[in-house]
Amino acid sequence: MMNRRFALWLAVAAAAAAIAGISLSGQTSSITVQDLTCEYLVNPLGIDTEQPRLSWRLAPGPRGRTQSAYQILVASSPENLQKNIGDLWNSGKVNASQSVLVPYQGRPLNSRMRAWWKVRVWDENGRVSPWSAPARWSMGLLRPSDWQARWIGLPHPEGAKPGAPLPFPWLRKTVELKQKPARATAYVNAQGYYELYVNGKKVDDYVLVPAVSDFSKRNLYLTHDVTNYMVPGKNVIALWLGRGWYVRGHPGVIHDGPIVRAQVEMEMPGGESV
């Protein structure tokens, strides 16, 4: 009799679930996903690896809560992501507990591309979470040919001894724009330290950048979103350079003073590139 009652209860529950449009195995979990990062960074600009690694955390919950599977969507626009269209990558359901440094495995990523992504997980009971809040990243300049800028710096002062430190130069460029750009990105590759200014305002809150590196092996560049600093009409873009560790006697240093190459790429509201 008990077995019949239990079977009847299961049948009623299944019928109710069918009417509600859900399955007992597909119930929504109370688990939530947060703190999405790409290469350890929150919404980074200028990622220079062609297979960025994605990470997330589960919000605190009851003891024993675990992730049994995940699904990642990566889209080429926020509109596609909102529609759950992963046109760059849809991982599908992956039965794994991994949530740290999951390699991107979608369509090839090219220089300057932007990507928006989100993730959902399944808990230890097979119940799926809501989608996380969206996150994003952009790709940097992946090929040497992407750099159009040339190295510049101050000329060696007349009468100065070879190897003598040069002053910390200010370098400025004035640009006339008919209208405010829809998007403006600055790529700055300095040998030594720098600060970037647009129209008298310091861009970002970075100090002592780029990071120290062995100049005989590599030099680093940073990517800045300068869209909100640009205005219609005259714009003054300035770089303040400092020697940092770029001093003769250190590996790979072949100039007497700080040098830089930098380029600002703009997309106007009509789609024109500047």
Q: Where are the chain's structural domains?
A: 26-138, 147-267
- Residue linked to tokens 């809040």: 133
CATH number for the 147-267 domain, one of 1.10.30.50, 3.90.1150.10, 1.10.645.10, 2.60.120.260? Answer: 2.60.120.260
Distance, in Å, from the CA atom of 213 to the CA atom of 225, rounded to the nearest integer, reads 24
CA dihedral 139, 145, 146, 149 (to 10 degrees): 140
Q: Which pair of structure tokens corresponds to residue 201?
A: 């305002």
Q: Of how many residues is the chain composed?
A: 274
Contact 138, 114 (CB under 8 A): yes
Peptide bond into 210 cis (omega under 30): yes
What's residue 56's pLDDT? Answer: 98
CA torsion 264-268-273-274 (nearest 10°) is -50
Q: How far apart are CA 156 and CA 162, in angstroms?
A: 9
Residues 6+ apart with CB under 8 A from 250: 215
Helix, strand, or coil (residue 216):
coil
CA nearest neighbour of 102 among 59, 67, 62, 78? 67
pLDDT of 163 reads: 67
Which is it for strands 193-198 and 135-138: parallel, antiparallel or unpaired? Answer: unpaired
Specify the pLDDT at position 26.
53
The residue type of 128 is V
pLDDT recorded at residue 159: 78
Question: What is the H or E stretch that residue 264 is in?
Answer: strand 259-267
Residue 239: predicted pLDDT: 97
Counting other chains too, the contacts that 5-13 makes at CB distance below 8 Å and 24 or more residues apart are: none
The three-state secondary structure class of 176 is: strand
Question: Which residues are CB-neighbours of 189 under 8 A, at least 6 positions away?
Answer: 147, 149, 219, 220, 221, 260, 261, 262
Q: What is the pLDDT of residues 187-202, one digit of tens each?
A: 999 999 999 999 999 9
Q: What is the pLDDT along the chain (274 residues), one digit of tens a residue?
A: 444 554 444 444 444 433 333 334 457 778 999 999 999 999 999 999 999 999 999 998 888 889 999 999 999 999 999 999 999 999 999 999 999 999 999 999 999 999 999 999 999 999 999 999 999 999 999 999 999 999 998 887 777 777 677 778 999 999 999 999 999 999 999 999 999 999 999 999 999 999 999 999 999 999 999 999 999 999 999 999 998 898 888 899 988 779 999 999 999 998 888 8
CB 138 within 8 A of CB 183: no
Domain formed by 26-138, architecture: Sandwich (2.60)
At residue 4, the pLDDT reads 52
- Looking at the DSSP bridge assignments, the partners of residue 20 are none
> How many Å apart are CA 161 and CA 152, to the nearest integer?
20
